[in-house]
């Protein structure tokens, strides 16, 4: 089955054409065409995504992105079997652009339409492994625990059966990507901040020292809190960590580049500590056999390393799936993958309503 998928939930305009085969337990995907345009440069000057600007850019760019994906895939229209589109969660003005475009294509081309939950896209795509030129989802043991970490979400979700989700824990305030972006802004780093913080923190690690000492001009090491780390629940909180950075910065009027690096490093360590501790608790509580991390923040080098090492040492019986770099941040291939799972079940729709708060799982 060939799926044409559209993603416009935030600031990436993306269309992918993916050849999908196999069943739920053993599925294969070949990306035939994949066109993506990031709006980062446009939103940068505002320090975050402006929904109305995102909407305007999606409207302007979707037709070109479609031409590009079709040209790359070199597949005649009659060979597309279904159209999948992100229905939520995300920015509603942005979601509507993709939905209306998908509905128009489905009508004109006479193709069935599939509504996709963006977080399910992150989850299922992150379960895939790259084998040669293909992505493969196979050999997975249930239950599957997913840590979904993005700009708008931080949640632990349990999948006991294909496409059935239970919420194990979630953030009570900021999403982890949001905390990365806000702390980056406080440090004067450009949007989106996650990557910038990671770059600074990795520099500190590559220099081989963990705690800045007085010989480097610091009076004492920077220590940030690990909010709710011992709460005994799988819920998270990142607002306090962000505020702690704010108070710390108030005490350093003329901050040096080195001090910024060390704050970025300590912030990233605090985030990774909390994410791992909560995930470990969820692994214990759910006896999950597979752990997957997905969402934009799963691109983070340190978090990937912490999860790989910790699973190896503490849960060697658990299979860890971490997405390949191109599948971490928003893309349309993940929407095609999730779309295929629903299209295989013939879950087609005739109308779609954008839902900015669409949830994947409930307690
Ligand atoms: O999944 P995503 O592309 O969009 C949403 O669905 O929100 O995630 C975007 C988030 C942003 O907050 C961005 O700063 C963060 O992912 N991010 C990172 C890294 N790359 C992207 N955070 C930490 N380290 C990174 N390397
Ligand atoms: Zn996302």
Would 134 be classed as within a structural domain? no
**What is the Cα–Cα distance from 16 to 332, expressed in whole angstroms?**
5
Residues 91 and 173 in one domain: no
Gap between the Cα atoms of 137 and 24, Å rounded: 8
Residue 190 structure tokens: 């450009």
Domain hosting 247: range is 144-321
Query: 253-269 b/e with 16+ CB inside 10 Å = b?
Result: eeeeebbbbbbbbbbbb
Same domain, 211 and 153: yes
The pLDDT assigned to 47 comes to 85
Q: Ligand 1, residues 180, 182, 186: which to mutate, most atoms within 8 A of Cβ?
A: 180
- 305-337 pLDDT, tens digit per residue, is 999 999 999 999 999 999 999 999 999 999 999
Q: Residue 353: inside a domain, yes or no?
A: no
Find the helix or strand (DSSP H, E) in which 145 lies.
strand 144-149
| CATH code for the domain of 106 | 3.30.420.40
Q: Looking at the structure, do residues 182 and 330 belong to the same domain, yes or no?
A: no
Q: In Å, how far from its chain's centre is CA 28?
A: 21
Ligand 1 centroid to Cα of residue 118, in Å, is 14
Per-residue pLDDT band at 347 (split at 50, 70, 90): very high
Give the per-residue pLDDT at 219. 56
Task: Supply 36's token pair.
Answer: 């993506």
User: What is the C-alpha to C-alpha distance for residues 136 and 148, in angstroms, rounded to an integer?
Assistant: 20
Within-domain flag for 85: yes
From CA 85, how far away is CA 354, in angstroms rounded? 10
* Residue from 11, 63, 1, 56 nearest 32 by CA: 1
Dihedral over alpha carbons 49, 51, 52, 58 (to 10 degrees): 80
**318 token code pair:** 């658990």
Residue 349 maps to a domain: no
The verdict on 89 and 192 lying in the same domain is: no
- The residue written with tokens 């941040």 in the block is 329
Is any atom of ligand 1 closer than 6 Å to the C-beta of 181? Answer: yes
The verdict on residue 82 lying in a domain is yes
Same domain for 198 and 112: no
Instruction: Count other C-beta atoms under 10 Å from residue 78's C-beta.
Output: 9
| Three-point CA angle 39, 67, 123, nearest 5° | 55
Residue 361 falls within a domain, yes or no? no
- Give residue 220's pLDDT: 65
Please give the tally of structural domains in the chain.
2
Residue 189, token pair as written in the block: 């780093």
Q: Which residue, judged by its Cα, is nearest atom 2 of ligand 1? A: 296
Q: Does ligand 1 have an atom closer than 6 angstroms to the CB of 174?
A: no
Q: Cβ of 231: how many Cβ atoms within 10 Å?
A: 15
pLDDT tier at 218, thresholds 50, 70, 90: low
C-alpha 361 – ligand 2 centre gap (Å)? 16
Q: How far is the CA of 190 from the centre of ligand 1 (A)?
A: 13
The burial of 75, by beta-carbon neighbours within 10 Å (0-12 exposed, 13-18 middle, 19 or more buried), is given as: middle
Same domain, 7 and 119: yes
Q: For the chain, how many residues are written?
A: 363
Ligand 1 in reach of 194 Cβ (< 6 A): yes
Q: Do strands 290-294 and 144-149 pair parallel, antiparallel, or not at all (unpaired)?
A: parallel
Asked if 55 and 196 sit in the same domain, the reply is no
Q: In angstroms, what is the span from residue 275 Cα to ligand 1's centroid?
A: 15
Query: What number of H helices and E strands is found in the chain?
Result: 10, 12
Residue with the bigger pLDDT between 168 and 218: it is 168
**In angstroms, what CA-CA distances link 113 with 86, 95, 121?**
11, 15, 16
pLDDT in tens, 293-302: 999 999 999 9
- Same-domain status, 84 and 183: no
The residue that leads in pLDDT, 79 or 219, is: 79
Residues 183 and 86 placed together within one structural domain of the fold? no
Shared domain check, 205 and 160: yes
Average pLDDT value for residue range 122-145: 97
The DSSP symbol for 288 reads: -
Does residue 275 lie in a domain region?
yes
> What is the distance between the alpha carbons of residues 204 and 265, in angstroms, rounded to a whole number?
7
In this structure, the answer to whether residues 35 and 116 fall within a common structural domain is yes
Q: Are residues 172 and 314 in the same domain?
A: yes
* pLDDT over 80 (residue 211): no
pLDDT surpasses 60 at 217: no
Q: Is the distance from the beta carbon of residue 121 to the nearest atom of ligand 1 less than 6 Å?
A: no
Give a yes or no: residue 316 inside a domain.
yes
Mutate to test the pocket of ligand 1, among 47, 183, 329, 333 (most ligand atoms within 8 A of CB): 329
For ligand 1, is residue 8 a contact (CB within 6 Å)? no
pLDDT at 221 over 90: no
| C-beta of 323 in contact with ligand 1 (< 6 A) | no
């Amino acid at each position: 089955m060939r799926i044409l998928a559209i993603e416009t939930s935030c600031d990436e305009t993306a269309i992918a054409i993916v050849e999908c085969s196999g069943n739920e337990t053993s599925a294969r995907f070949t990306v035939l065409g994949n066109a993506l345009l990031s709006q980062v440069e446009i939103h940068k000057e505002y320090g975050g995504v402006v929904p109305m600007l995102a909407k305007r850019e999606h409207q302007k760019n979707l037709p070109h992105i479609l031409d590009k994906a079709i040209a790359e895939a070199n597949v005649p229209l009659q060979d597309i079997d279904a159209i999948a589109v992100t229905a939520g969660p995300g920015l509603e003005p942005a979601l509507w652009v993709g939905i209306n475009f998908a509905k128009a294509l489905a009508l004109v081309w006479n193709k069935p339409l599939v509504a996709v939950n963006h977080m399910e896209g992150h989850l299922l795509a992150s379960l895939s492994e790259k084998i040669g030129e293909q992505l493969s989802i196979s050999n997975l043991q249930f239950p599957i625990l997913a840590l979904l970490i993005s700009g708008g979400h931080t949640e632990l979700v349990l999948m006991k059966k294909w496409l059935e989700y239970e919420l194990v824990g979630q953030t009570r305030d900021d999403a982890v990507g949001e905390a990365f972006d806000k702390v980056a802004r406080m440090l004067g780093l450009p949007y989106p901040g996650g990557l910038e913080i990671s770059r600074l923190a990795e520099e500190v690690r590559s220099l081989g020292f963990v705690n800045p000492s007085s010989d480097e001009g610091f009076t004492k090491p920077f220590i940030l809190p690990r909010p709710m780390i011992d709460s005994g629940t799988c819920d998270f909180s990142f607002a306090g960590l962000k505020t702690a950075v704010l108070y710390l910065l108030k005490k350093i009027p003329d901050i040096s580049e080195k001090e910024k690096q060390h704050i970025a490093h300590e912030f990233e360590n605090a985030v990774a500590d909390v994410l791992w501790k909560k995930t470990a608790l969820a692994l214990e509580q759910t006896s999950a056999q597979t752990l997957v991390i997905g969402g934009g923040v799963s691109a983070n080098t340190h978090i990937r390393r912490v999860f790989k090492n910790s699973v190896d040492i503490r849960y060697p019986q658990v299979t860890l799936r971490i997405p390949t770099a191109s599948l971490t941040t928003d893309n349309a291939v993940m929407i095609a993958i999730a779309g295929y799972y629903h299209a295989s079940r013939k879950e087609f729709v005739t109308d779609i309503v954008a839902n900015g708060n669409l949830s994947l799982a409930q307690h």
